[in-house]
Amino acid sequence: MFDQIHEECGVFGVYSPESTTSVVGDTYMALYALQHRGQQSCGIAVNDDGIIRSYRDLGLVPDTFNQRVLNDLGSGRMAVGHVLYGASNPERADAQPLVVRHIKGSMALAFNGALVNALELKEELELKGAIFHSNSDAEIISHVIINERLHTNSIEEAIEKAMDKLKGAYSMVVMSPQKLMAVRDPQGIRPLAMGKMGGEIVFASESCAFDSIGAKFVRDVRPGEIIVVDRSGVRSLESHCGQKSGLCVFEYVYTARPDSVIEGESVHMARKRAGAFLAQEHPVEADIVIGSPDSGLDAALGYAEESGIPYGIGFIKNRYIGRTFILPTQKERERAVHIKLNVLEAAVKGKRVVLVDDSIVRGTTSIQITKMLRDAGATEVHLRISSPPFINPCYFGTDIDSKDKLIACRMSMEEIRRTLDVDTLGYLSIEHCAQIARTTTGCEFCMGCFTGKYPIDVPEEKPCDKFSQKLCNK
C-alpha cells in the first residue's frame, strides 16, 4: 500500500548430524530474524529420516507458529524455512517451503528470487501434463528439478541440470530425504550465506539469521554454486560458477538488515557510505539531519558525519504494526502513514531539515512524510535519497513491476521536487551507488532498475499468462 519497495523472501536451512528438536527451534528463530524480508506468509519443513513434515500459512512468524504447531513438527536432522512477500492478495498455496513427493522420493524447497523465463517454463511443463496450484516460481522450479531427477542418479545432479534451464534470480535451500542443498544462481543476484553451529551446518539469506541462533558465519555461497550437506560431510559443485556476477545493489540500500554482512561488506557501513556520498554530491546548509525509519537511518548518519550537520531523531515509528496492511481508499492510506510514523515536533520545529530516505517509488508516501514535517514546523525540508532514481522495472524479485508507477519516469527532477513540496531534492549518483560496498571481493552489482542494464537478458516487458492477468495488473 505504501510507496515502498517490498522485500520478497527469506530462506533458511539447517543440517544436524543427529536427529533433534533443535532444528525446528533454530529455524523458527532464524525466520524471526528474517521477518523483514517478507511478512505475508511463512513455513517450516522438517526431515525426520526421510519423512518430511511441514506447516505453512499466511501471517507473521510468531502468529503462524505457536508451541503446539512447533511440537507437531517434531524432530529431525534437517529443516528448511521461508518467509514471503508476494502478491497483494496472498494465498496459502503460495506459502513456502514447497513440499513435493515424486516417484524417487520427496523434496522440500524454499526459494528467493524470480525467474525471467517462468512463463515459458510453465507453458512447457503444462504441455507435458504438469498441474500448478500456486503463482509461485518455486513450483515451476520444483517441477523442473523433479523432471531432471527422473533421469539422473542424484538430486544434486538434477539441480545442476535444472540450472541450465532456469534463468533469473534464485537463492534457495533444497531438502531431499538424505541431503540439504544450498543453491545460488550463476549471477548471485540474491544473497545466500553458509554458517556453522557446533556440528550443524546452516544456510540463510542473511547473516543476521546466524546471529539469532548463535551460529558463526562461514562464507557466502558463491554465484552458481551448489553446496551439498549429508552424512559424508560438505561438498561443493561449481559447474555453473565463474560467470559475471550481479548482486542486487538494493540489498545494501534497503532490503537487508543493517546488522547483516553480505559478500564481506557490512550493510550498515554501506548505507553510511551512501549517506556520505550524498553529502558530497548534494551539500546544503541545514540545522539537523534525520532519517526515514528504518532503512534511511544509517544513510542519514553517514550524511550527518560527512556534512557536519547534527544528526537527530525526527520520526517515531510505531513498532506494533506487524506488517504493511492494505486499505481500500486513498484517504485511509494517507491516514495510515500517520499510524506508522509520527514526527517528533520538538526536534524539527523551526529548523532547516535534511531528510534522508532510501528511495522514492511512486511518491505517495514521500508526499505525506514531507507534509508531516512541514506541519510540525520545519522551516525547510531538503530531501536526499540514498539510491538513484528508479526508472526501470525489476525482473529479479523486487516489487517494481511497471514504469508507469515510477514517479521518476513520469516527472522531471524539478517536477518531483515541487510535487513532494521540498526545498531541494538530491539522489545518489549511479557512480557512487556502485561504490557503497567497497570491501566486496570480485562482486559486481545489478543496478538495472536504475540503469536499464541487467546482468542477463530480460524480456521487453514482464510476461503474464492469461490466467494470471489480474495478478499481473494489481
Q: Report, as an integer, the average pLDDT of 2-18.
A: 78
Distance CA 274, CA 301 (A): 10
What is the rounded radius of gyration, in angstroms, for the C-alpha atoms of the chain?
22
Q: What is the pLDDT of residue 90?
A: 72
Q: Give the DSSP per-residue string, 312-380.
A: ---EEE-TT--S----SSHHHHHHHHHHHEEE-HHHHTTSEEEEEES--SSSHHHHHHHHHHHHTT-SE
- Residue with more model confidence, 151 or 324: 151
pLDDT class for 7, splitting at 50, 70, 90?
A: low
Asked whether 289 and 303 are in contact (CB, 8 A), the reply is yes
Q: What is the pLDDT of residue 6?
A: 53
Q: What is the pLDDT of residue 318?
A: 82
Look at the alpha carbons of 372, 373, 378, 380 in this order and tell me if their dihedral is positive or negative. Answer: negative
Q: What is the pLDDT of residue 332?
A: 61
Class of the CATH domain delimited by 266-443:
alpha beta
Q: Report, as an integer, the average pLDDT of 343-369.
A: 94
Distance CA 272, CA 279 (A): 11
Q: Report, as an integer, the average pLDDT of 451-467.
A: 76
pLDDT in tens, 239-253: 999 999 999 999 999
pLDDT in tens, 216-226: 999 999 999 99
**Could you tell me which of 209, 164, 161 has the C-alpha nearest to residue 186?**
164
Q: What is the pLDDT of residue 457?
A: 93
Mean pLDDT of the chain: 91
**Amino acid (1-letter code) at residue 22:** S
**Could you tell me which of 80, 85, 4, 6 has the C-alpha nearest to residue 38?**
85
pLDDT in tens, 404-430: 889 999 999 999 999 999 999 999 999
pLDDT in tens, 86-108: 655 678 999 999 999 999 999 99
Q: What is the pLDDT of residue 307?
A: 98
Domain boundaries, the chain: 9-246, 266-443
Q: Give the DSSP per-residue string, 115-183.
A: ETTHHHHHHHHHHTT----SS-HHHHHHHHHHHHHTTSSSHHHHHHHHHTT--EEEEEEEE-SS-EEEE
pLDDT in tens, 290-333: 999 988 999 999 999 999 999 999 999 887 764 444 444 556 65
What are the residues facing 45 on neighbouring strands? 54, 80
Q: Report, as an integer, the average pLDDT of 58-80.
A: 96
Q: What is the pLDDT of residue 465?
A: 53
Q: What is the pLDDT of residue 60?
A: 94
Distance CA 365, CA 362 (A): 8
Distance CA 108, CA 114 (A): 18
pLDDT in tens, 253-278: 999 999 999 999 999 999 999 999 99
**Could you tell me which of 236, 238, 325, 307 has the C-alpha nearest to residue 40?**
325
Collapse the DSSP code of 29 into the 3-class scheme (helix H, G, I; strand E, B; otherwise coil) and give the result: helix
Q: What is the pLDDT of residue 5?
A: 54
Class of the CATH domain delimited by 9-246:
alpha beta
Q: How far apart are the first and last CA of the chain?
A: 11
pLDDT at 338 over 80: no
Residues in the chain: 474
Cα 299 off chain centre by = 19
**Grid cell locating 116:** 525471467
Least confident of 107-111, 129-133, 162-166, 375-379: 129-133
**Which residues lie closer than 8 Å to 239 by C-beta, 6 or more apart?**
160, 224
Residues marked as catalytic: 9
Distance CA 295, CA 139 (A): 32
